[in-house]
Homo-oligomer: A and B are copies of this chain.
C-alpha cells in the first residue's frame, strides 16, 4: 500500500498527513499513464472534490521527493508526471576505476529517445546506454 509509504515519508520529513494530500495522492494512484497537474485538478473538481489547485501544485513536488511519482516529460507548456514503475528496463553507469555498476532509469530519457526516434522515423525496439566514467567514491 503506497499510501503508507507516503504517510511515512511525510512524517519523516515533518510534514503533515492531511485529507487533501491523501485525496490528491489516491487520485493519482488511480491514473493509468501520465497526467499533468491542471488536468488532475479538473478531474478532481469534476468528481466533486474541494481540493484547490494550489494544494495540487504543492503536493506534487512532495510526491516526487518521496519517490512516489516522477516527472516524465517537459513540453513547451506542461510538465507531466506518472506513478513510479516497478522493476523494468534500466541503463548503466560504469565506473572505470572500481568497476561499480550503477543501474538507473530515467523516464525522461526514455521519452526523449522516443521523440528522437520519431523524428528519424525509426521504430525502436530496445536500446542500451552505457555511461563510462568515475563514480562518487572514486571521485
Give me the interface of A with B, judged by CB distance under 8 Å.
74-76, 79, 93, 95-96, 102, 104, 106, 108-109, 112-113, 116-117, 120-136, 139
Contacts and interface: CB of A to CB of B under 8 A. Distances in A.
Contacts of A95: 122
Given A113-B129, A122-B133, A125-B132, 9 more contacts: A74-B76, A95-B122, A102-B122, A106-B116, A120-B136, A122-B136, A124-B133, A126-B132, A127-B129
A34 B114 CA distance: 24
B131 A113 contact: yes
Given A106-B112, A112-B109, A117 B129 contact: no
Copies in the complex: 2
Given A79-B76, A112-B109, A112-B112, A104 B120 contact: yes
Contact of A123 (B76, B121, B134): B134
27 contacts: A76-B79, A93-B117, A93-B122, A93-B124, A102-B122, A104-B116, A104-B120, A106-B112, A106-B116, A109-B109, A109-B112, A112-B112, A113-B131, A117-B131, A120-B135, A120-B136, A123-B134, A123-B135, A123-B139, A124-B132, A124-B133, A125-B133, A125-B134, A126-B131, A127-B131, A128-B129, A128-B130
